[in-house]
Amino acid sequence: MIPYLEINDRTVLSAVGTAILFCAAASAVAAPPDHKEQHFAVKGRPTVVLQNIVDGRIEVKSSKNPEVVVISTSSPEKVAIDLEQAGDRIDISATGLVNSTQPHEVEANFILTVPEETELQLKTQTGLIYVEQVNGDMQLESVAGDVNLKEVSGYIIVKTTGGSLKCTQCTGKLDFASIGGGAQVLQSSLMRINLMTATGNLLYDGEFVRTGIYSMKSTKGSVEVRFSPTDSLDVDARSLTGAVDNQATEFLRPDVHGSHHSRNRGNSFFGTVGQGLAKVELSSYSGTIRILKRP
Amino acid sequence: MQCKDFEALLEQDGLDPLPLAARSHLTECSACRNLFADLSVIVSSAREFPAEVDPPERLWVSLRAQMAAEGLIKQSAPASTEKAAWWQALPSLFRPRVLASAGGALALAFAAFLAVHKKPVNVTNTNPPTPAVARVQTPAQPAAVQQPRSRAAIAPAPAPQMVAKRRSTPATSATPNFKPAPSADVYGGTLAGMQDPQNLAGTSVEADASLRENLRIINEVIAECQKHLKKHPNDALAREYLASAYQQKAQLVAAILDSGRSEQ
């Protein structure tokens, strides 16, 4: 009797396990993401506001058409997506309907196609925010997702908690604030930047516009600027406990304006390239500051 | 020495001890004399302040209790004796008959779930450019009211409801299902929003982990700056970083509360 009972128990357990596994796999296969596409005609310069309080990626591209196209892909039964148009303003929100226990369990991804002249306010939790070829002021917020901007212009405000920023061929003004994220600004021609992070690394490798102001501040990460010998800038670098690594000493002259000559001591440095028209302020608590000439 | 030289000297070397040229300038220039006197008072007053004062622990306890009472944060419930009793009863659930029944019920539940879960995708809508306000709501329907798969395969699924309304029409606000515009709470979050349990659902596990990790990082930065300032209380750069870290922490805590998470 005992062997029979043991076999019976095992059989039942195996059957139950198989049924559960089969059903779980089948449910995963049987639940494709919700895919929706909405078109909103606009007349002038639209403003698109997207608040995604669940995980997900936001991609924005531009077109010549006077319309905003919103394509969303979301977890079925787990996300509610609201869209509203009020004149040239498009409001989009994605809200979770269930509590998320696994990463990407409750997710909504968006692809927006907007006119070239568009203002953006985008917010997501995780997942990349990618904006390409859009002219207009934009405020982009992410908790853990990165922000990637290419050929955008306007007053750009980026706030992340742990996500990083990569800004390529950007023009206008840029504000970046993060705790764990870094920022790379490449091939850009920004007239004002303000990059601030606690532990991320900061890099500016772009044009220094005359009369531009460039402020880069990282508490623990590195701060690096690369300039061309034809640029015109004053560099003021200060680190509390980190090193100031000036690898372009032959191009940086002592301060020509006369008030900072005594600052070149310890972890501080002040130097001028050209006439010193742009103002570059580099600061760190313990991170290394590097000043390099662009090859 | 000129006034601007005197100011530059103060900025670089502080108040003590002034060189001879600066002292002679002070005797001639009343403006600089006043500036020097003001700065001396500020510095001496500042030295009397304690370097950093942490708020008392009871303040945090009280604040946390108040926020928990208002439903802004969740407090983890202590383990109770009822829970232990539940665990003690757990082995009885693993009897073959119970397992078989549970398995069968589970399989049936999954089968039912699969039957009602399948729904068509790729819904495309285009709205005309004429209406001033167009609103589209696509909430997920409860499984209980959805069509079985067999019927859904025959009849096309209803497209997401799309209603064009004039913003000035009062009927909009009178609709029972009215919700504020999605943009209303984009960059701030209201108290009402935080208390809404609907807003608590769906918060990201990954984002939650990132917020907690960065809160830990910023606390470390604050501790490091405080430690440095205890040794070098006049270090302006360290003070600047400490102030900045406090600002970042405030924003982080606000973000945590805004999204309905708890700091712990």
The ipTM of this complex is: 0.76
Instruction: Calculate mean pLDDT across residues B243-256.
Output: 85
The pLDDT assigned to B193 comes to: 35
Which among A143, A180, A283 is the nearest to B217, CB-wise?
Answer: A180
The pLDDT assigned to B103 comes to: 61
pLDDT bucket at B130, cuts 50 / 70 / 90? very low
Which among B107, B124, B140 is the nearest to A37, CB-wise?
Answer: B124
Pairwise CB contact (< 8 Å): B204 & A54: yes
CA–CA gap between residue B7 and residue B19 (Å, rounded): 13
CA–CA gap between residue A158 and residue A154 (Å, rounded): 12
Interface of A with B in 56-75 (CB under 8 A): none
> What mean pLDDT value characterizes chain A?
87
Out of A3-17, A217-231, B131-145, B179-193, which region has the weakest mean confidence (pLDDT)?
A: B179-193
Candidates B208, B248, B263; CA nearest to A198 is B248
Which residues, 6 or more positions from B25, have their beta carbon under 8 angstroms from its beta carbon? B1, B2, B3, B5, B6, B32
The pTM for the full model equals 0.61
CB atoms within 10 A of CB B121: 13
Amino acid found at B118: K
Q: Does A164 touch chain B (CB under 8 A)?
A: no
Out of A106-110, B121-125, B230-234, which region has the weakest mean confidence (pLDDT)?
A: B121-125
Task: Write the pLDDT tens digit of every residue in A187-221.
Answer: 999 999 999 999 999 999 999 999 999 999 999 99
CB atoms within 10 A of CB B17: 8
Q: Does A264 touch chain B (CB under 8 A)?
A: no
Which among B106, B181, B259 is the nearest to A91, CB-wise?
Answer: B181
Place of tokens 């995604």: A52
Residue pair B30/B208 in contact (Cβ under 8 Å)? The answer is: no
Instruction: Calculate mean pLDDT across residues A258-262.
Output: 54
**Strand, helix or coil for residue B157:** coil
Nearest chain B Cα to A198, which residue? B218
Query: How far is the alpha carbon of B183 from chain A, nearest alpha carbon, in Å?
Result: 6
Which residues, 6 or more positions from A290, have their beta carbon under 8 angstroms from its beta carbon? A222, A223, A224, A225, A245, A246, A247
The pLDDT assigned to B167 comes to: 36
Candidates B205, B190, B202; CA nearest to B257 is B190
pLDDT bucket at B30, cuts 50 / 70 / 90? confident
DSSP A199-258: S--EEEES---TT-EEEEEESSS-EEEEE-TT--EEEEEEESSS-EEES-TTT-BSPSSS
Whether the predicted pLDDT of A180 surpasses 60: yes
CA–CA gap between residue A137 and residue B198 (Å, rounded): 31
Nearest chain A Cα to B254, which residue? A161
Candidates A271, A182, A173; CA nearest to A219 is A182
A266: left (phi over 0), alpha (psi -120 to 50) or beta: left
Residue pair A237/A255 in contact (Cβ under 8 Å)? The answer is: no
**CB < 8 Å to A9, chain B:** 96
The pLDDT assigned to B196 comes to: 33
Pairwise CB contact (< 8 Å): A123 & B187: yes
Work out the percent of chain B whose per-residue pLDDT is above 70.
Answer: 40
The pLDDT assigned to A15 comes to: 60
CA–CA gap between residue B247 and residue A178 (Å, rounded): 11
The pLDDT assigned to B179 comes to: 38
The pLDDT assigned to B177 comes to: 37
* Structural Rg of chain A based on CA atoms: 26
H helix or E strand, kind and range, residue A272: strand A268-273
Pairwise CB contact (< 8 Å): B202 & A24: no
Tell which wins on pLDDT, A66 or B118: A66
Which among B96, B160, B202 is the nearest to A8, CB-wise?
Answer: B96
Pairwise CB contact (< 8 Å): A84 & B225: no
